[in-house]
Amino acid sequence: MLIAGVLTDAASGARYDNIDPATEQVIGDTADAGAADVDRAIAAARTAFDDGVWATDREFRKHCLRQLHEALQDEKEAFRTELVAEAGSPVSITYMAQLDWPLADAIAYPAELIDDFEWERTLPDTELFGAVSHRRVVKEPIGVVAAIVPWNFPIEVALNKIGPALATGNTVVLKPAPDTPWGAARIGRLVAERTDIPAGVFNVVTTSDNGVAEQLLVDPRVDMVSFTGSIGVGKRIVELSAATLKRTFLELGGKNAMVVLDDADFGAVIPQSMIACMHAGQGCALPSRLLVPRSRYAEAVEIATATFGGIAYGDPTDPANFSGPLVNARQRDRVLDYIRKGESEGARITVGGGRPEHLSQGYYVQPTVFADVDNTMTIAREEIFGPVLAVIPFEDDRDAIRIANDSPYGLSGSVWGGDPERADAIARGIRTGTLMVNGGMFYGADSPYGGYKQSGLGRQNGREGFEQYLQTKVVGFR
């Protein structure tokens, strides 16, 4: 771990095993923090913010973040190997959003935004009480930020929290998921060994016990919690942080709809629903509902079934495989329970539906397609987080929008159609924080990411995400 500028074990000496989800074998161990370690990390971050220059010296922050960016590039291949080993990520997707894309801009973009951002602005003078008052609006860092990241895209999410939080002058305690601690620990080592970031500004605490990590939510020395993960944990964070009224950023997943219109090229578009199986479906922006016109429903089911039946999955170190294992046995069993629930509610499995017979080790689930799905079914409403697609019919454009919006989530989705204006009109009617029309990508460190409804609070990345980590002060003076 990294606490107060020192690479350290847990105070108790405790460690826990790191498991490769593709082999179910122990690949190493990790420092297992207890309450005393979390307390030390919070204290270090608090002192560094209150007594150091990090919050006020923007040029110094930019210098340090550029150092970190370069250090991350130098260890790209080590990060790649670790992601495959501890997250079970197929190596092929590490060249995209899993690693290469965020390494390119997650730290570099907010570092450059330091120069472009409007840190102060002037309001018009007033003459209240018979005298002229000048006024200015000032943006200042919040303070200590607890950054809590998930196991599915652990480096991507961590860097996109670290970058803007540090660039805006905050100090950080980074808490990775218990299943994927090594990437965060590597970032901590790079901060300690390759940058001039002062002691305590950035801390990394790894622990197998999320109960220990809950100290970050209740400690009054922590000013903000930035969390990406499940809706259940997100609600828990709001509940525990309410006592001290911490600011919270929450990105809580989705039940994303891929809407295919009747004028789309089904042979070219429907196969793209296979993205639902990328990284075994463990992605909050991946589509899990395929909405198609009732008039072409049978055709869509047939194409989706053939597509999912041909998806290469298995050993994540093999570049040919698009889908790998679930992260652990608990998650695998959760996905299988959802599949059984779908069958019990009347949906029909057209391909997949269980554990693969040819993979005796690893937490694998077959790519699965459900037909005859009604949007009221559990598999259409709850986030499964596995390689499962539900195909749902709609009557017309208005009905497609209705079904897409008939969800407690509102994170992402896509619309596909031959008429771009028609597709865009439907996209404007869908209540999600991000959307793709005919494959247009929104991703980037400059692109605000987050959701409507129960998909979360606030935005990560972009100017909106940058300002998420700032307070607003107004000063009147004569």
Q: Which residues are catalytic?
A: 251
Cα–Cα nearest to 367, from 320, 300, 303, 322? 322
Which residues have C-beta within 8 Å of that of residue 47, sequence separation ≥ 6?
200
Q: Is the dihedral of CA 105, 110, 112, 118 positive or negative?
A: positive
Alpha helices in 345-474 (DSSP H): 378-381, 397-405, 420-429, 462-467
CA pair distance 353, 340, nearest whole angstrom: 8
CA dihedral (47, 53, 57, 58) in degrees, to 10, reads -30
User: In what helix (H) or strand (E) does residue 160 lie, and over which residues does it extend?
Assistant: helix 154-167
Give, in order, the Cα–Cα distances in Å from 101 to each of 94, 104, 159, 214: 9, 5, 11, 31
Q: Which helix (H) or strand (E) holds 390?
A: strand 388-394
CA distances from 451 to 228, 272, 331, 365, 423 (A): 12, 23, 23, 28, 20
Q: What is the C-alpha separation between 434 and 449, in angstroms, rounded?
A: 7
CA distance 394 to 404: 10
Give the span between the Cα atoms of 137 and 160, in whole angstroms.
26
Q: What is the CA radius of gyration of the chain?
A: 23
For 279-307, letters b (16+ CB in 10 Å) and e give bbbbbbbbbbbbbbbeebbeebbebbbeb
Please state, in angstroms and rounded to a whole number, the distance separating the CA atoms of residues 23 and 396: 46
Asked whether the CA dihedral 50, 217, 327, 374 is positive or negative, the reply is negative
Is 63:237 a contact under the CB 8 Å cutoff?
no
Give the Cα separation of 169 and 148 in Å (integer): 18
